[in-house]
A and B are shown apart, each in its own frame.
Chain A
Amino acid sequence: MNSNQLIEADAFTLRRRPASEKLIDLGFKQLTLLLASAVAIVLLGIFLTVFQGAREAISSFGVNFLITSSWDPINEQYGALVAIYGTLVSSLLAIAIAVPLGVGTAIFITEDLIPNSMREAIGLMVELLAAIPSVVLGLWAIFVMEPAIRPALNLLHILLGWNPFFNTVPQGPGMAPAVLILVVMILPIITSISRDALNQVPMELRQGAYAVGTTRWGAIFSVIVPAAISAITGGVMLALGRAMGETMAVTMIIGNALNFDLSLLAPANTIASMLANQFGEADGIQVSALMYAALILMLLTFMVNVGAQLIVRRLSLRY
């Protein structure tokens, strides 16, 4: 051992790192590097697997896949318009309903409108709602929610039946109940991100607003919400991505239609539900067509998520 041959004074003050220790250190660093690379590998692997699977369908259907609505396994003609339209409409409608509800709830539990214990209770309940599995929400939607809201949907049909968006008689599964269950699923995301954003707004901003004599809601609308708007927008984008990819609850309640229908009361379809329903039993070019649809879903959610990250990172609060 080299260290034994050092002069005595040195031996007490300096400890030479033995080669084994350096080896362990280096090995551990490389190991964690390898494990961190797993993220990149998985992400790349997902993209390559889906792209590879979709290649056959891309070459035989091309861009027409996006704008035709026939899904015909017998004649091997596939077009994903119904599913793409359903994905976009269901997620955008769900966002339109969930944003006011979620941001309103977040304001209600951050702005000192009610006692602290009630605020914590509501916050806890919203978080627990996020923990309920989507398949359980789907079960609830089939047996409880959809029968309960059908009279209301019927009323919509009677009142607005002249309108192409409401011109079918609601008969169970359809776009409208799917949108409502999506609202339930993304509400916790919007609420908790908005709550964090509002909590980060410095107290001085609120005090300043109150000091010049605004009311509480004057301060909320013209000072607090504008200060937190970038984080809230990022959260809404994340929720939009989640809504587009949400599978189980939507699959169970949307009706999995193969034909295009503008009506919100009629059965519809989304890319994710199409995958959940058909992937297990498909073979040949149908698998490839489903992979093509999966690729489109991936690109859609990818764009929305990258947008969300950029908004959150670029525009995050600076005080």
Chain B
Amino acid sequence: MGKQSLITYDNTTLFERRPLHFDPNLRRNRLNLLFTSIAGIFAAIAVLPLLLVLFHVLMQGGRLISVNLFTQIPPPPGLDEGGIGNAIIGTILVTMIATLIAIPVGVGGGIYLSEYSSKGWFAKFVSFGNDILAGVPSIISGVFVYGIVVTTRIFFDQSYSAVAGGIALAVLMLPTVIKTTEEGLKLVPQELRWGAYGVGASKFVTVTRITLPSAFTPIATGVVLAIARAAGETAPLIFTALFSPFWQEDVLSPIATMSVLIFNFAIMPYEAQNELAWAASFILVLMILAANLLARWISRLARV
């Protein structure tokens, strides 16, 4: 009987009478308090990094916020002033390209998994592959796009480009969008589909007019979270979208993004660049936290 360690009794007095009131001096109660305190300390340690990171990003980045930050481009190394206007636009543009690719593909794939085939070997394979794809390191997605888009110059003979970066981010978003679509659709009551078939709707009409709209909330929540995650990704962009110190003119040339800007400027030995990295972190973190709160708000709408 190895599991008695927390319960103390000896065999002769197994049914010893004990008062019912709580005695804090018993070994079991002291142990209980000890473990509760340890868990509480662990929880405090788990929460601490978020508070510290938010505090520093808001303090260091917040004091640098000005109009110039949004309207100017980064200064050359060694010079002061300047802003990150091109990187803000770049992040929005690259994330938009990724979203435009990942949402149709992901929602379509999710529809197939939930509505057409959830038991066949192919659906099982796709579903398993989706979980594996979700675990592929983000840098590998960059290597993949570097191999098929950048070195092959597949888009109008351009190598590094905003489109390449968008594709790399789309690869990362895809598993999340498929998973949330599939799970959202599976929550739709079967009766709704039967009702639609009963009044003579075809499968296509049922899916697009009945099933998909009723699963809108969970899908939208997942999509917003996927977009927020993609906006902060850096690793897939370093050698696909690269970086550019200028204003963007088209989507087929290298493009600046806030995440790559933070990476490049954080490791530079110049004060001005480091400060721009903090300012970019401030804007990026605010955007991502806002998206997360938006996602929570959307998912709360459904419960009302």
Residues of A within 8 Å of B128, CB to CB, are: 309
Q: A60-68, A76-84, A162-170, A273-281: which lies at the B interface?
A: A273-281
Min CB distance B248 to A, Å, is: 19
Q: B63-71, B78-86, B200-208: which lies at the A interface?
A: B200-208
Task: With A46-B144, A128-B292 as known contacts, state yes or no: A218 contacts B28, CB within 8 Å.
Answer: yes
Cα distance A146–B136 in the bound complex, in angstroms: 28
Are B108 and A133 touching (Cβ within 8 A)?
no
Residues of A within 8 Å of B144, CB to CB, are: 42, 45-46, 49-50
Q: B104 at interface (Cβ–Cβ under 8 A)?
A: yes
Cα distance A131–B49 in the bound complex, in angstroms: 13
A133, A246, A275, A294: which contacts B284 (Cβ < 8 A)? A133
Cα distance A266–B7 in the bound complex, in angstroms: 46
Are B43 and A280 touching (Cβ within 8 A)?
no
Within 8 A of B (CB), among A88-110: 100-102, 104-105, 107-109
Cα distance A5–B178 in the bound complex, in angstroms: 45
Q: A134 at interface (Cβ–Cβ under 8 A)?
A: yes
B38, B147, B262: which contacts A50 (Cβ < 8 A)? B147
B140, B231, B281: which contacts A298 (Cβ < 8 A)? B140
Residues of B within 8 Å of A105, CB to CB, are: 39, 42-43, 46
Q: Which A-chain residue is minimally distant from B200 (CB atoms)? A: A15
Cα distance A217–B27 in the bound complex, in angstroms: 12
A-B interface contact total, Cβ < 8 Å: 276
Min CB distance A99 to B, Å, is: 11
Residues of A within 8 Å of B132, CB to CB, are: 43, 302, 305-306, 309
Q: Which B-chain residue is minimally distant from A275 (CB atoms)? A: B139
Within 8 A of B (CB), among A212-227: 213-218, 220-222
Cα distance A133–B257 in the bound complex, in angstroms: 13
Are A139 and B266 touching (Cβ within 8 A)?
yes
Q: B93 at interface (Cβ–Cβ under 8 A)?
A: no
Are B203 and A140 touching (Cβ within 8 A)?
no
Min CB distance A122 to B, Å, is: 6
Are B148 and A49 touching (Cβ within 8 A)?
yes
Cα distance A144–B49 in the bound complex, in angstroms: 11
Residues of A within 8 Å of B157, CB to CB, are: none
Are B174 and A40 touching (Cβ within 8 A)?
no
Task: With A29-B116, A136-B53 as known contacts, state yes or no: A247 contacts B235, CB within 8 Å.
Answer: yes
Cα distance A131–B284 in the bound complex, in angstroms: 11
Q: Which B-chain residue is minimally distant from A40 (CB atoms)? A: B129
Mark contacts of A254-287 with chain B using CB atoms, 8 A cut-off: 1 yes-contact digit, 0 otherwise. Answer: 0000000000000000001001100110000000
Are A133 and B137 touching (Cβ within 8 A)?
no
Mark contacts of A117-131 with chain B using CB atoms, 8 A cut-off: 1 yes-contact digit, 0 otherwise. Answer: 000001001111101
Q: A252 at interface (Cβ–Cβ under 8 A)?
A: yes
Cα distance A244–B56 in the bound complex, in angstroms: 27
Min CB distance B215 to A, Å, is: 14
A127, A215, A222, A272: which contacts B139 (Cβ < 8 A)? A272
Residues of A within 8 Å of B202, CB to CB, are: 17, 21-22, 24-25
Are B174 and A135 touching (Cβ within 8 A)?
no
Are A39 and B133 touching (Cβ within 8 A)?
yes
Residues of B within 8 Å of A109, CB to CB, are: 43
B31, B39, B112: which contacts A107 (Cβ < 8 A)? B39
Q: B113 at interface (Cβ–Cβ under 8 A)?
A: yes
A122, A221, A272: which contacts B43 (Cβ < 8 A)? A122
Mark contacts of A158-202 with chain B using CB atoms, 8 A cut-off: 1 yes-contact digit, 0 otherwise. Answer: 000000000000000000000000001001000100000000000
Are A43 and B133 touching (Cβ within 8 A)?
yes
Are B49 and A129 touching (Cβ within 8 A)?
yes
Cα distance A132–B53 in the bound complex, in angstroms: 9
A17, A35, A309: which contacts B109 (Cβ < 8 A)? A35
A38, A144, A217: which contacts B6 (Cβ < 8 A)? A217
A38, A101, A144, A291: which contacts B105 (Cβ < 8 A)? A38
Residues of A within 8 Å of B143, CB to CB, are: 49-50, 53, 275, 279, 290-291, 294
Are B137 and A35 touching (Cβ within 8 A)?
no
Cα distance A22–B138 in the bound complex, in angstroms: 41
Cα distance A215–B60 in the bound complex, in angstroms: 47
Are B42 and A104 touching (Cβ within 8 A)?
yes
Q: A52 at interface (Cβ–Cβ under 8 A)?
A: yes
B residues neighboring A (CB under 8 Å): 3, 6-7, 28-29, 31-32, 35-36, 38-40, 42-43, 45-47, 49-53, 56-57, 60, 104-106, 108-109, 111-113, 115-116, 122-123, 125-126, 128-133, 135-144, 146-148, 171, 174-175, 178, 200, 202-204, 207, 228-229, 231-235, 238-239, 242, 259, 262-263, 266-267, 274, 277-278, 281, 284-285, 288-289, 292
List 16 A-B pairs, Cβ < 8 Å: A24-B204, A35-B109, A36-B112, A36-B123, A39-B129, A46-B141, A104-B43, A126-B47, A129-B50, A134-B235, A138-B263, A213-B7, A248-B234, A272-B139, A279-B142, A301-B140
> Top 9 A-B pairs ranked by shortest CB distance?
A245-B137, A133-B232, A35-B108, A104-B42, A32-B112, A305-B135, A49-B147, A36-B109, A247-B235
**Known pairs A46-B140, A128-B289. 11 more at Cβ < 8 A?**
A35-B106, A36-B112, A104-B38, A108-B40, A128-B292, A136-B57, A136-B232, A136-B284, A245-B135, A290-B143, A301-B136
